[in-house]
């Protein structure tokens, strides 16, 4: 019987995947996923107190808690595998004096990322649009991505919630099992058709880790750093608020490194019935010598209702004799 995987951190979804999951620590082979068990797979970043990435920990260095209860880690990997990643760029009118620097920083991110990544660009002002042609949903070609980022003159207001929903939907079309968004904006939403509650619900259900960069003006009444923090915290990413625009280059390089050095940690969730429920997650990491480590991963996920078992004819089976 094939059951579903819950992929969290850089993945929170119910999806059938065809590859095998190694039940051992990472080797030189890419970490792959399986559809033969119900798993929670967390995408986990570990840093030291100074912000440096820690990429040499083993499975025994981690403890995972769901709803406060310690879980048995059944799957572990730390390979630099390709990801599907979207660059979600604010092109509203207030971005006009900042846009050239943001494009440069986005290209820095691309240059520091895995060259096999599937990348796409979303531009948003009053409306949301894909930077790449319809015939090219993803690319690793820097020339195509540079053109996709050359939006023109930023104008209009900020449809931030619409951009988040558009980007998460497009992200699911990618072939890579790990998925991420990097969102750059200088304000809060003032133009979307969709609302914050819907956007946050889809973020919780999505497969994406979201990194946000807020480049706010001090006198901007529409700025909403709290939203960018929530997007990052719920999805297991990070939020950045540089004081100077040139710092965005370094932040983009840091985000690319973070994506490439994350751990994949899996466990089998314990069900108390067939109903779905919201589960909280906490991951702790320890290092030799007792160094303080900072862990970033998804803080919760929605465990969906258990689906009925498939019968021999492919339909739902029925219990008999009761």
SS3 content of the chain, % helix, strand, coil (to 5): 25, 25, 50
Q: Which pLDDT score is estimated for 311?
A: 55
**227 and 114 part of one domain:** yes
312 is a domain residue: no
pLDDT, one tens digit per residue, over 118-165 is 999 999 999 999 999 999 999 999 999 999 998 888 999 999 999 999
Domain presence at residue 316: no
**Per the domain annotation, does 313 fall within a domain?**
no
Same domain, 163 and 39: no
pLDDT mean across residues, the chain: 84
Residue 122, in any domain of the structure: yes
Encoded tokens for 116: 């096999």
Half-sphere exposure of 63 (CA within 13 A, CB side): 9
DSSP 8-class letter at 271: P
Assess whether 152 and 214 both reside in one domain: yes
Q: Please name which of 155, 182, 164 lies closest in space to residue 95, comparing C-alpha atoms.
A: 155
Q: Which residues of the chain have pLDDT under 50?
A: 1-5, 7-36, 317-322
Give the C-alpha separation, 59 to 70, whole Å: 14
Residues 91, 216 within the same domain: yes
Residues 118 and 213 grouped into a single domain = yes
Q: Which of 5, 69, 2 is nearest to 264 (CA)?
A: 5
56: region left, alpha or beta (phi > 0 left; psi from -120 to 50 alpha): alpha
192 and 244 together in one domain: yes
> Contact 156/125 with Cβ under 8 angstroms?
yes
Answer yes or no: do 137 and 196 share one domain. Answer: yes
| DSSP for 21-39, written as a single string | PPSS---SSPP---SSS--
- As for how many domains the chain has, the answer is 2
Residue 63 has a CB neighbour count (10 Å cut-off) of 15
Which pLDDT value is given to residue 103? Answer: 96
Query: Do 48 and 88 belong together in one domain?
Result: no
Residue 120 lies in a domain: yes
pLDDT of residue 310: 55
144 and 267: one domain? no
**Would you state the pLDDT for residue 18?**
28
Same-domain pairing of 62 and 116: no
Boundary-marking domain end, from 204, 229, 260: 260
| Residue 3, Cβ density class (10 Å: 0-12 exposed, 13-18 middle, ≥19 buried) | middle
pTM: 0.82
What pLDDT digit, counting tens, does each position of 201-239 carry? 999 888 799 999 999 887 777 788 999 999 999 999 999
Domain annotation covers residue 152? yes
Considering the domain architecture, whether residues 93 and 212 belong to the same structural domain is answered as yes
Residue 318 lies in a domain: no
Class of residue 49 by CB neighbours under 10 A (exposed 0-12, middle 13-18, buried 19+): exposed
Q: What is the CATH number of the domain that holds 237?
A: 3.40.50.410
Specify whether 142 is located in the same domain as 256: yes
Strands 83-90 and 208-214: unpaired
**C-alpha span between 214 and 102 (Å, rounded):** 11
- Tell me if 114 is assigned to some domain: yes
Q: What is the extent of the structural domain holding 125?
A: 83-260
């Amino acid at each position: 019987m094939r059951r579903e995987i819950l992929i969290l951190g850089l993945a929170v979804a119910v999806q059938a995947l065809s590859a095998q999951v190694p039940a051992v620590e990472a080797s030189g082979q890419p970490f792959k996923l399986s559809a033969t068990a119900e798993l929670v797979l967390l995408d986990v970043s570990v840093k030291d107190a100074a912000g440096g990435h820690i990429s040499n920990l083993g499975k025994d260095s981690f403890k995972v808690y769901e709803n406060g209860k310690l879980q048995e880690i059944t799957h572990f990997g730390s390979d630099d595998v390709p990801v599907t990643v979207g660059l979600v760029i604010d092109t509203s009118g207030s971005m006009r004096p900042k846009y050239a620097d943001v494009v440069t920083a986005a290209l820095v991110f691309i240059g520091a990322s895995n060259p096999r990544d599937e990348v796409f660009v979303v531009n948003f002002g009053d409306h949301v649009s894909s930077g790449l042609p319809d015939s090219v949903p993803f690319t690793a070609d820097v020339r195509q991505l540079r053109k996709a980022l050359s939006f023109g003159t930023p104008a209009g207001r900020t449809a931030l919630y619409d951009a988040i929903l558009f980007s998460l939907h497009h992200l699911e079309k990618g072939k890579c099992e790990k998925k991420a968004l990097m969102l750059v904006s200088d304000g809060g939403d003032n133009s979307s058709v969709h609302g914050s509650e819907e956007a946050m619900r889809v973020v919780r259900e999505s497969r994406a880790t979201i990194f946000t960069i807020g480049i706010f003006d001090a006198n901007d009444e529409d700025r909403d750093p709290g939203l960018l923090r929530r997007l990052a915290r719920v999805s297991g990413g990070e939020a950045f608020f540089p004081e100077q625009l040139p710092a965005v280059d370094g932040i983009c390089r840091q985000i690319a490194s973070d994506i490439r050095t994350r751990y994949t940690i899996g466990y089998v969730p314990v069900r108390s019935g067939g109903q779905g429920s919201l589960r909280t997650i906490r991951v702790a990491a320890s290092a030799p010598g007792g160094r303080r480590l900072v862990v970033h991963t998804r803080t919760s996920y929605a465990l969906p209702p258990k689906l009925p078992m498939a019968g021999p004819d492919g339909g739902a089976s029925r219990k008999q004799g009761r």
